[in-house]
Chain A
Amino acid sequence: NAGVTQTPKFQVLKTGQSMTLQCAQDMNHEYMSWYRQDPGMGLRLIHYSVGAGITDQGEVPNGYNVSRSTTEDFPLRLLSAAPSQTSVYFCASSYSIPATYNEQFFGPGTRLTVL
C-alpha cells in the first residue's frame, strides 16, 4: 500500500513551459485535491475532485488544469508556467469529502521552481 505518490519530487521550468505533476493513490479514495504551499501562506487549495469525472476549482485555480479519468489518478497541469507558480505542491486524498470526518492523506510533495 503506497498511499499517495507524487512525481516528480523536484522540477525546474522556464517561464512559458508546460508540465504535468502526477498524483496517484492506491486506497480507492473518492476525494482528491491539490494544494500549494508558499512560505508564510499555509496550504491553499488549487483544484479538487469528488470522484472520477468530476472536478472543481479551489481557492487558487488560475493557471492550472486538472482531470480525473480514473479513481486512482489526479494529474495537475501547468499550462504556461510563471514565476508566481514557484511553490511546493501537495496532492491529497480521502475516502470521502473531508467535512464528513474523513482525514486527508498527503503525498510527499513536488518542489517546483519557475525561472
Chain B
Amino acid sequence: DQQVKQNSPSLSVQEGRISILNCDYTNSMFDYFLWYKKYPAEGPTFLISISSIKDKNEDGRFTVFLNKSAKHLSLHIVPSQPGDSAVYFCAASANHPNSGYALNFGKGTSLLVTP
C-alpha cells in the first residue's frame, strides 16, 4: 500500500508564477521528508528536506511546508523557471528498523514551466 501519495501526476505553470506540488502520507512514524527532482535519463537529485520538528524550510526559491496533523506536505517554487521542468518526487522515512530506514517515494509529479 502506497504510504506516500502524490495525487497530481502533472502540473503546468507559467514562468514567473508559483508552482505548488502536494504530497500526502499515511504513516505517522515518518519523521523526515524530502523532495527530489528528476530529469529524463538522470538519477534523482536532492532538492530540499524537512524534519518533523519543523513546519517550514526554505532554500532560495524552494520552500517545503509540513502539516503533521493533516499528514500533508507541499513544495512551493517561486518564481518558477523553465529549468524547473522535471519530475518531482516526495519521499519520507521513519527512524525505525521495521521500516528498513528506507525512503518511501511517491509516484511523482511532472512539472512543466512554460515561458
Instruction: Indicate the size class of the contact surface on chain B.
Output: 20 to 34
Is there a chain B Cβ closer than 8 Å to A84's Cβ?
no
**B100-113 contact mask (Cβ, 8 Å, vs A): 1 or 0:** 11111111100000
CA distance A94 to B99 in the complex (A): 16
The reply to whether the CB of B21 lies closer than 8 angstroms to some CB of chain A is no
CB atoms of B100 and A45 under 8 A apart: yes
- A105 on interface, CB distance cutoff 8 Å: yes
Q: Does B22 contact A (CB under 8 A)?
A: no
A44–B105 contact, CB under 8 A?
A: yes
Kindly count the residue-residue contacts between A and B in the assembled complex, taking CB atoms under 8 Å apart: 76
Q: Is the interface of B mostly helix, strand, loop or mixed?
A: loop
Q: Give per-residue flags for A18-59: 1 if the beta carbon is below 8 A from chain B beta carbons, else 0.
A: 000000000000010101000011111100101000001111
Q: Which residues of A contact B104 (CB under 8 A)?
A: 45
- Please name the residue on chain A nearest to B107 by beta carbon: A42
A74 adjacent to chain B (CB < 8 Å)? no
Binds A, one of B11-19, B44-52, B59-67, B71-79: B44-52
Is B25 at the interface (CB under 8 A from chain A)?
no
Check B101 against A50 for contact (C-beta < 8 Å): yes
Cα-based distance from A45 to B100 in the complex (angstroms): 9
8 A-B pairs closest in CB distance: A106-B43, A97-B101, A99-B95, A99-B93, A42-B107, A103-B46, A42-B105, A43-B105
